[in-house]
Amino acid sequence: MVSAILGYSDVLVGTQYGDEGKGKTVDKKTKSGMYGIVARYNGGKNAGHTLEEKGRKIVLHQVPSAIFSRDIQLYIGSGCALDLEKLEREIAEITSFGIDLSNRLNISDKALITCPHHIMLDAELGKELGTTGSGMGPAYADRAMRAEGSRLKHLRFADLLDNPSMAIEVIVENAMDRGLDSRERIEAKAHKILEAAKNLEQYVPRDPLWLLSQVNNGENVLFEGAQATLLDVTHGTVPFVTASHTIAGNAYVGGDLPPKYHRKTFGVAKAIMSRVGNGPFVSEFGGSRSEHYCAEERGKRYTKAYERTNYNVEELLKSDDPFHTGIALRILGEEYGATTGRPRRLGMLDLVALKYAVDLNGIDELHLTKVDRLVDFSRTQLPGIPIVVAYEVDGRNIDYLPTSTDFLKTAKPIIEYRPHIKEDLSGMRNFSDLPPEAKELIRYIETSVGCKISSIGVGPEREQYIDL
């Protein structure tokens, strides 16, 4: 008997609150030629992965990030919740970039479909949490509800393809139950969703074990987590989290592959952290003032254009108010939400949270992004690069991430300052080029969190990174 040649799978996850630069990291990893497939296992259009090629920018929401590596297959697993009309538009935009997905994109027919009532409910109920309004919470909740009497509470892609009239009834009646809109409008919307499903059918392999069969043919898979560890529905800063499991273990549930193929776990961390939406963020510059400023309704006003026109970065950098430091770093680092355009809240690199993410996901190697931006601290009044090494809660120092959000909200950061980096790192491509302060900082982080940093990002372009 001839034994099958098996492939393997790796998982890449965000270690903070999202927007760590996962898309670009996936893009870099796939250039190695090691992977035949990049797969998603959670989330939906709430994700925003920005990729740049030759000065052109594209923001992906639902399609996996490896679009530029044209020989790589893309897979969207059953753990994702899809907005089909938006997915169709995203594919059209990718096609306009000269990238043909027709024989590359594969979507699980078990993937959840976000329906009009999910989006409407999220717009209402997600306000307090600061969600992206993509319907994630209500969609995953309906999956857990399964059915109400004989009517399904949620739909999977297969339902739309195999039983369209039932699917229309489910979409319409679930919305009518909530009294969310007129029957006429919901019916029109339901037909549009069905039409999108038909147009996307070409991407749906009907074998539920399609990914497994590829791996059994020797293909290697890179699972790409959406959102990030601290937004995990159970392990993040509950309730200010997304509605799916973001952590590496879920790749083998939402990604439709048995865990026996797992090889390595990669984590992506950003040198200056960010968070969009509400919720605790111990290392935030400007604390609750920044959270309030960046919050949903007001955040819409403080756009990139607004902040660039109305603030003087040099003056902000000279201020000893951390709230001003945060705004300056946001403008310099262009930290605005890829999905919502909201200003991202910025904070110091938090090693307590990073160690938690390393341990929880079992991360083997870290990629640290935006290391070039650390130079901005040398223009501030701060005595060095601020790093959070522990928390003070109720007069006690702790070195772990507390589970209770109320507890976490009262935590004060204990800061250590590392020597400033003064040189521009953006043109550097070798570890040996880096100034001693940058090398020392990398070693310091590795030792503190107990994980190797295998590469760093030094700018927004695809080739701006250094393998260590």
- With CB under 6 A as the contact rule, the residue among 26, 136, 190, 456 that binds ligand IMP is 136
Cα distances (angstroms) measured from residue 257 to each of 140, 253, 302, 310: 20, 7, 43, 50
Candidate segments 14-22, 80-88, 282-290, 440-448, binder of ligand IMP by CB under 6 A: 14-22
227 part of the interface to ligand IMP, by CB under 6 A: yes
The CA distance from 456 to 429, in Å, is: 10
369 part of the interface to ligand IMP, by CB under 6 A: no
Q: How far is the CB of 192 from ligand IMP (least distance, A)?
A: 22
Residue 292 annotated among the catalytic residues of the structure: no
Of 226 and 317, CB closest to ligand IMP: 226
Please list every residue from 383 through 422 that binds ligand IMP, using CB under 6 A: none
- With CB under 6 A as the contact rule, the residue among 12, 13, 18, 51 that binds ligand IMP is 18
- With CB under 6 A as the contact rule, the residue among 9, 16, 46, 369 that binds ligand IMP is 46
Site string for ligand IMP, 274-293 (x = CB under 6 A): --xx----------------
The CA distance from 357 to 22, in Å, is: 15
Residue 19 annotated among the catalytic residues of the structure: yes
Of 159 and 296, CB closest to ligand IMP: 296
In degrees, rounded to 5, the angle at the alpha carbon of residue 294 between the alpha carbons of residues 233 and 298 is 115
Q: How far is the CB of 405 from ligand IMP (least distance, A)?
A: 13
42 part of the interface to ligand IMP, by CB under 6 A: no
Please pick, among 19, 83, 142, 256, the residue that the annotation labels catalytic.
19
- Tell how strand 465-467 and strand 452-457 pair up: antiparallel
The CA distance from 4 to 220, in Å, is: 14
Q: How far is the CB of 346 from ligand IMP (least distance, A)?
A: 13
131 part of the interface to ligand IMP, by CB under 6 A: yes
Q: How far is the CB of 129 from ligand IMP (least distance, A)?
A: 6
How many residues belong to the site for ligand IMP (CB under 6 A)? 21
225 part of the interface to ligand IMP, by CB under 6 A: no
Q: How far is the CB of 317 from ligand IMP (least distance, A)?
A: 26
- With CB under 6 A as the contact rule, the residue among 137, 254, 267, 322 that binds ligand IMP is 137
Site string for ligand IMP, 111-130 (x = CB under 6 A): ---------------x--xx
Of 140 and 261, CB closest to ligand IMP: 140
For the chain, first and last CA: distance in Å? 43
Candidate segments 44-52, 183-191, 193-201, 205-213, binder of ligand IMP by CB under 6 A: 44-52
- With CB under 6 A as the contact rule, the residue among 84, 197, 231, 371 that binds ligand IMP is 231
47 part of the interface to ligand IMP, by CB under 6 A: yes
Q: How far is the CB of 17 from ligand IMP (least distance, A)?
A: 6
Task: Tell which residue, 373, 354, 383, has the closest CA to residue 453.
Answer: 354
15 part of the interface to ligand IMP, by CB under 6 A: no
Of 90 and 219, CB closest to ligand IMP: 90
Q: Which two tokens stand for residue 223?
A: 């699972």
Please pick, among 10, 27, 49, 154, the residue that the annotation labels catalytic.
49
Sheet containing strand 112-113, strands side by side: 81-82, 112-113, 155-156
Candidate segments 63-71, 235-243, 280-288, 401-409, binder of ligand IMP by CB under 6 A: 235-243
Cis status, amide bond into 239, omega within 30 of 0: yes
CB contact at 8 A, 269 and 15: yes
- Which residues are the active-site residues? 19, 49
**Which stretches of the chain bind ligand IMP, using CB under 6 A?**
17-19, 46-48, 126, 129-132, 134, 136-137, 227, 231, 240, 242-243, 276-277
